[in-house]
Amino acid sequence: MVIRSLDVNKDSFCPREMDEDILGPEVPYLSAIGALMYLSSHTRLDISFAVNLLARFSSCPTRRHWNGVKHIFRYLQGTKDMGLFFSNLSKTELVGFADAGYLSDPHNARSQTDYVFTYGGTIISLRSMKQTITATSSNHAEILAIHEASRECVWLRSVTHHIRENCGLHSEKVAPTVLYEDNMACIAQLKEGYIKGDRIKHISPKFFFTHDLQKNGDIDVQQIRSCDNLTYLFTKALSTAPFEKLIYNIRLRRVKDLI
């Protein structure tokens, strides 16, 4: 996806304007979005953000949005031999990444929640969605995102523990799952737990569930640079260099590169 303008009035993926026509039934916008959503949730995770954004306009798509859909199809046509690469050579451990795109939808003042979990270095769980709560700051948005990631982490730890136990790989002590986050203020607040103060008194204490998981030894929240955070790929439209770096890091490979 082309990089979006920081100027709301120049954003090519803004909602329909008054003088724009809605696409007619002859344009298969809904069918295209449905096909792309199926693909993005299985093997082509690199198109997740673009599909998530364009799906928001399914009720009243315009020519601008249809051009964005065709742009994705052209990209897929040129990379149709690409998919997730799973290998048993990597270290098998569950690792999580969480991030939030503050005001990713400036037209509705909503942010984006993103989390990724890998096992053996390859993604096994991904979520990229618009937050239902209006975040008042980037720190607030990050706390909401890491709360969702923590809930997913609890479930994934339970599933992997069950599989390992059934395969005779059960260990007495399960190490905490490392959850990477790039916001230092968020990490510091989750370490101390909920403390009512001027900056966070409006945030519900339930979103500090991650603090309890840290205290119990289930999760270990650590800092990571934004450029190395895998969820950065699903937060915003990126330029070519960081985009290609991140899709390589989530182990998307072309068949010709594995031969």
Return the CATH fold of 94-252. Nucleotidyltransferase; domain 5 (3.30.420)
pTM attached to this predicted model: 0.85
Domain spans, the chain:
8-80, 94-252
Residues of the chain with pLDDT under 70: 5-8, 89-91, 170-172
> What is the token pair recorded at 202?
């409006």
Chain mean position to CA 44: 13
Question: SS3 sequence, 46-69?
Answer: HHHHHHHHHHHHCCCCCHHHHHHH
Residues linked to residue 96 through DSSP beta bridges, in sequence order: 117, 179
pLDDT at 168: 82
pLDDT at 145: 92
pLDDT tens-digit readout, 59-97? 899 999 999 999 999 999 999 999 999 887 666 788 999
Give, as one character, the DSSP assignment of residue 172: S
pLDDT at 128: 87
CA dihedral 57, 58, 64, 67 (to 10 degrees): 130
pLDDT at 91: 67
